[in-house]
Amino acid sequence: MESGCEQILKITDRILDGGEITEEEAKALIRTTDEDTMLLLACADKIRQKFSGRSVDLCAIVNARSGRCQEDCKFCAQSARYDTGIDNYTFLPEEEVMKAAQKAKEAGADEIFAYGTSIMRDAGNGPDFAKLVEETTGVKVRILSGTEEAYYSYIGAAGTPGVLTAVVDIGGGSTEICMGFGTDVGMCHSFQLGCVRCSKQFDTTTARGLSMLKKHCFELFRTTDLMEYIRNVKRWIGVGGTVTSLAAMIQKLDVYDSEKVQDFVIRQENVTEALKKLSAMSYDERCRTKGLMPERADIIVAGIAILDSLMEYLALSEITVSDRDLSEGLLDADVLVPNEPK
114 close to 142: Cβ distance less than 8 angstroms = yes
Q: How far, in Å, CA of 237 to CA of 316, rounded? A: 11
Please state, in angstroms and rounded to a whole number, the distance separating the CA atoms of residues 201 and 79.
32
326 burial class (0-12, 13-18, 19+ CB within 10 angstroms)? buried
Angle at which helices 268-280 and 241-250 cross, to 10°: 90
Each of the 342 residues of the chain gets a pLDDT tens digit; together they read 567 788 999 999 999 999 999 988 988 898 888 888 989 999 999 998 888 887 776 666 666 667 766 555 655 666 666 666 777 776 677 778 778 777 777 777 767 778 888 778 877 788 888 888 888 777 788 888 877 777 777 666 665 556 778 889 898 888 988 888 766 777 788 899 999 999 999 999 899 999 999 999 999 999 888 777 777 788 888 988 899 999 999 999 988 888 899 889 999 999 999 999 999 999 999 999 999 988 889 999 999 999 999 999 988 999 999 887 566 666 555 654 544 454
Pinpoint the residues of the chain covered by CATH 3.30.420.150.
Answer: 157-328
pTM for the structure as a whole: 0.59
**Is 3.30.420.40 the CATH number for 94-143?**
yes
| CA-to-CA dists, residue 134 to 26, 112, 113, 125, angstroms | 41, 11, 11, 14
Residue ranges of alpha helices (H) inside 17-141 are 23-30, 34-52, 94-106, 118-122, 126-137
**What CA–CA distances, in Å, run from 312 to 142, 180, 204, 303, 317?**
34, 22, 18, 14, 9
**318-321 vs 235-239, strand pairing mode:** parallel
Tell me the longest C-alpha to C-alpha distance in the chain.
Answer: 71
Which fold would CATH assign to domain 157-328? Nucleotidyltransferase; domain 5 (3.30.420)
Q: How far is CA 191 from CA 147, 176, 222, 226, 310, in A?
A: 10, 6, 11, 12, 11
pLDDT tens, residue by residue, 192-207: 999 999 999 999 989 9
3-state secondary structure of 206: coil
Are 204 and 302 in contact by the 8 Å Cβ rule? The answer is yes
- Residue 7's contacts (CB-CB under 8 Å, 6 or more residues apart) are 25, 28
Residues of the chain with CATH 3.30.420.40: 94-143
Total Cβ atoms within 10 A of residue 320: 18
CA atoms of 285 and 39, how far apart (whole Å) = 61
What Å distances lie between residue 68 and 72, 158, 286, CA to CA? 11, 27, 18
Give the pLDDT confidence of 187-245 residue by residue, as tens digits: 788 899 999 999 999 999 899 999 999 999 999 999 888 777 777 788 888 988 899 99
